[in-house]
Amino acid sequence: MNLTQKQLASLAKVSTPTISRFEQADKDIQLSSVHSILDVLGMTDKRTLVFDDQKFEFDGDRVAFWGEDGKKRVLCRISRQAIEDHFSDKDRLRPKAAFEKHQKQIKALARRKYSFGQLEPDGTVMIRNSDVV
């Protein structure tokens, strides 16, 4: 980017010695400083998946729900098997009730897969049994 250390420090709102330590891969640098520098250099990922509503569809084989990344809508799904194996509360909850009760954790899994770029060929997020730890 043809920036001097002083210019980069100013843009990242860190000190010039911090830029020097960053360039030398010094381990004694705050993570927030590293993030600020990488952000100025255009090396951070700004994608984020937000779930505003509680709407979802259950089709017998999986549950589908929508997230948004800015103005882009992203279809997310979780397999019935993943719900039954990991969220059914020892078979006390049927898939629909399990999704309703555990949707915060399920949506966090979808957000993680999205941020890591683990998308299906059609651009959707699919949570499978192997994705739930």
Taking CB atoms within 8 Å and a gap of at least 24, the contacts of 57-60 are: 58/95, 58/96, 58/99
pLDDT in tens, 2-41: 899 999 999 999 999 999 999 999 888 999 999 999 999 9
* CATH superfamily membership of 57-131: Shew3726-like (3.30.160.140)
State percent of the chain over pLDDT 70.
100
Per-residue pLDDT, 108:
94
What is the rounded average pLDDT for all residues in the chain?
91
Element (DSSP H or E) covering residue 129: none
Q: Where in the chain is the domain with CATH 3.30.160.140?
A: 57-131
Please, are residues 131 and 109 in contact by the beta-carbon 8 Å criterion? yes
